[in-house]
Chains A and B, each alone.
Chain A
């Protein structure tokens, strides 16, 4: 079945450091890919998404490119801020394997120190 694997956390960075959170997926069809973010004490909210190969999603300085050849959707940000401290979830939806439902990775907790 479909699945998402993302790097284990926690990740601790200093402010203005470069961030990469790796995400790879397995899917039977042609999935859409998402990054959701969960700030402390809140629900998840969409950070960015990409719906087809080579698409780049971007929002709030974060970027991720849909790489079909490597089945990856790595999240990057050039300069993190303390306010980026949160848990980040990679997810996919695919009519073939997930019937359009979201399948999540286990989440990566990011802590940014001033």
Chain B
């Protein structure tokens, strides 16, 4: 089954404790992206990757890191989480970056930073 898999689904952590949210897709997609969803703000893009070893900042990249060493994986790293990073996070992928391309989303990771 074609899917985007995120782990974990739920995570509670404390300020400053490094964490990684994994994202994997099995569709051989070139493009992958991370978003955060906050009430009243909709989805905002954090980082995206057009292909292996190619990443770029989205609209809200501060406090996040990403890497794309393999085509299928695109982990999101919070080196020193803070309470304002409490949010619902989604990973997405599409065949390529481009106008009209459909993005496929993971089920989400709900993060609470205390």
Contact = CB atoms under 8 A, between A and B. Distances in A.
Given A45-B105, A93-B100, A101 B45 contact: yes
Given A49-B102, A89-B42, A93-B101, A101 B108 contact: no
Contacts of A101: 33, 45, 48, 58, 97
A43 B99 contact: no
B58 A43 contact: no
Interface residues of A, number: 26
B90 A44 contact: yes
Interface string A34-61: 1010000111111001010000000000
B4 interface: yes
Contacts of B48: 101
B12 interface: no
Interface residues of B, number: 24
Contacts of B100: 32, 49, 51, 93
A94 interface: yes
Contacts, number: 62
Contacts of A41: 107
Nearest to B9: A41
Interface string B99-114: 1111111111000000
A106 interface: yes
A18 interface: no
Is chain B's interface secondary structure helix, strand, loop, or mixed overall? Answer: loop
Contacts of A45: 104-105
Contact of B102 (A30, A46, A100): A46
A70 interface: no
Nearest to B97: A100
Contact of A31 (B4, B33, B99, B103): B99
Interface of A: 29-32, 34, 36, 41-46, 49, 51, 89, 93-95, 99-102, 104-107
